[in-house]
Amino acid sequence: MDKFRFILSGGGTGGHIYPAISIANELKQRYPNAEFLFVGAKDKMEMEKVPNAGYKIEGLWISGLQRKLTFKNALFPIKVISSLLKSRNIIKQFKPDVAIGTGGFASGPLLKMAERAGVPCVLQEQNSFAGITNKLLAGKAEKICVAYSGMEKFFPKDKIVLTGNPVRKDLVAIKHDAKAVKAAYGLDETKPVVLVLGGSLGARRINELIETELSFFRANDVQVFWQCGKLYEQDYKKYNSEDVKVQAFINEMDKAYAMADIIISRAGAGSVSELCLVGKPVLFVPSPNVAEDHQTKNAEALVKKNAALMLKETELEGQFEPAFKGLLDSKEQQATLSRNIKRLGMPHATTAIVDEIEKLLK
């Protein structure tokens, strides 16, 4: 009997959507006849990404509170009530065996109504600082799968399972030869490569930093493989040259990771989990524009374990060059950071989360 029905909700950002899709894929592998339904926020990226991954999705009229007083905030209570009523109908019609929430606004009303209907709920928290939706839902959840230790300050201790974050399977083992990949991209295979990652849309402050430091990289014989993001491609593609390769989006991340000697990255939960598996020296530049400054907290969790370096955006101007040069010149520091970040990798996170979900089906 594997005609189970699974309802999943998580969205707003890739950090919530991709873990939910990974969990659904693993469940589908174990239960090929199972039925799946995703629930997201009407105007967010999940409405496109989830159908692209082959799953049905229903949209709720929900969004977060704005930090300023706006008309949207006045609509917030109405949106919540509307989303709770629609969630109740969805649960009634779909009759799920388990509800899974990976964070984001839509998962609040859906899991609240699932729990009220007696459906067992599993939460997955990607960050080292728990999101508001998961904190509100934690009391009634059966299990809370987390990626960082020390999460009992947010959640009931007896419900927490340390599983890690689901990541793309192709990144778990780097199978490419660094020199061959450098050559394929037209780079000098004898010189180091810094890989710059700002997320799929790009990170304005990281892009500005790289633009400013191109002559510094050249002076230190460092080549730059620069993912600037779709929003910034027109501004930065003029820097394409023998030792600088600018891409809006990197399709072959496994190859990019293989040739990287040092990585500069944002510190979103998905990126951090991925970089732990990659095991290269990383300098994190957390985005300050996210809820509860969770990217800084994600990066700090690694810095405490001597597994990465971190500079806040406000520190870049005076501290970037000495920090980067220190890392570039010290093979010992590179090896230490690589070794320590790799220890934190959890390649079997998706399997571990689905094992917990399976226990609720028995």
pLDDT digits (tens, 9 = 90+) for 184-242: 999 999 999 999 998 767 799 999 999 999 999 999 999 999 999 988 999 999 999 99
Q: Is the pLDDT of residue 183 over 90?
A: yes
Judge whether residue 71 has pLDDT over 70.
no
User: If you average pLDDT over residues 115-143, what whole number do you get?
Assistant: 94
Helix/strand/coil for 264: strand
Least confidently predicted of 173-177, 225-229, 327-331, 353-357: 173-177
Q: Is the pLDDT of residue 305 over 60?
A: yes
Diameter of the chain measured on Cα atoms:
64
Q: Does 200 carry a binding-site annotation? A: yes
Residue 345: other Cβ atoms inside 10 A: 18
Reading the block at residue 226, the tokens are: 């620069």
* Spatial distance between the Cα atoms of 84 and 283, rounded to a whole number of angstroms: 42
The pLDDT assigned to 168 comes to 72
Closest listed residue to residue 306, CA positions, set 274, 277, 334: 334
* pLDDT confidence of residue 320: 98
Cα 42 to Cα 325: distance, rounded to the nearest angstrom: 46
Domains of the chain, by residue range, sit at 5-167+347-361, 170-343
- Dist CA 171 CA 72 (whole Å): 40
The answer to whether 5-167+347-361 and 170-343 have equal CATH topology is yes
pLDDT tens track for 34-55 = 999 999 999 888 999 899 999 9
Task: Give me 142's structure tokens.
Answer: 């059966």
> Is 318 marked within a binding site?
no
- Report the CATH fold assignment for 170-343: Rossmann fold (3.40.50)
Can you give the pLDDT at residue 172?
Answer: 54
Residue 240 among known ligand-binding residues: no
The pLDDT of residue 289 is: 85
Question: Strand (E) positions, the chain?
Answer: 5-9, 35-41, 57-60, 98-101, 121-125, 143-146, 160-162, 193-197, 223-227, 244-247, 262-265, 282-284, 309-310
Q: Can you give the pLDDT at residue 188?
A: 97
Do the annotations mark residue 67 as ligand-binding? Answer: no
| Residue 326 is assigned to a ligand binding site | no
Q: At residue 126, does pLDDT exceed 70? A: yes
For residue 65, the model assigns a pLDDT of 53
Whole-prediction pTM: 0.85
Asked if 83 contacts 61 with a C-beta cutoff of 8 angstroms, the reply is yes
Q: Quote the pLDDT of residue 64.
A: 61
Calculate ∠ Cα 279-327-222, nearest 5°.
90
**Rounded to an integer, what distance in angstroms lies between the CA atom of residue 80 and that of residue 28?**
31
Residue 15 has pLDDT above 90, yes or no: no
pLDDT tier, 81 (very low <50, low <70, confident <90, very high otherwise): confident
- The predicted pLDDT at position 11 comes to 81
pLDDT band at 285 (very low <50, low <70, confident <90, very high): very high
Helix 331-343 vs helix 316-329: crossing angle, to nearest 10? 100
Please name which of 253, 359, 301 lies closest in space to residue 126, comparing C-alpha atoms: 301
- Measured in whole angstroms, the distance separating CA 168 from the mean position of its chain's CA atoms is 11
Q: Which residues of 11-46 are buried (b: 16+ CB within 10 A; e: fewer)?
A: bbbbbbbbbbbbbbbbbeeebeeeebbbbbbeebbb
Q: Span 16-35, mean pLDDT?
A: 94
Report residue 251: phi and psi, to 5°: -80, -35
pLDDT of residue 349: 95
**What is the torsion angle, in degrees rounded to the nearest 10, for the CA atoms of residue 109, residue 113, residue 114 and residue 115?**
110
AA letter at 296:
T
Instruction: Give residue 27's pLDDT band: very low, low, confident or very high (50, 70, 90).
Output: very high
Q: What is the pLDDT of residue 173?
A: 60
Query: Is 250 annotated as belonging to a binding site?
Result: yes
Task: Tell me if 212 is assigned to a ligand binding site.
Answer: no
Quote the pLDDT of residue 70.
Answer: 61
Question: Does the pLDDT at position 1 exceed 60?
Answer: no
Arithmetic mean of pLDDT over the chain: 92
pLDDT of residue 233: 93
Fold for the domain defined by 5-167+347-361: Rossmann fold (3.40.50)
Only one residue has tokens 């907290």, namely 297
**127 marked as part of a ligand binding site:** yes
The structure tokens 């730059």 sit at: 224
- Whether residue 325 is predicted with pLDDT greater than 90 in this model: the reply is yes
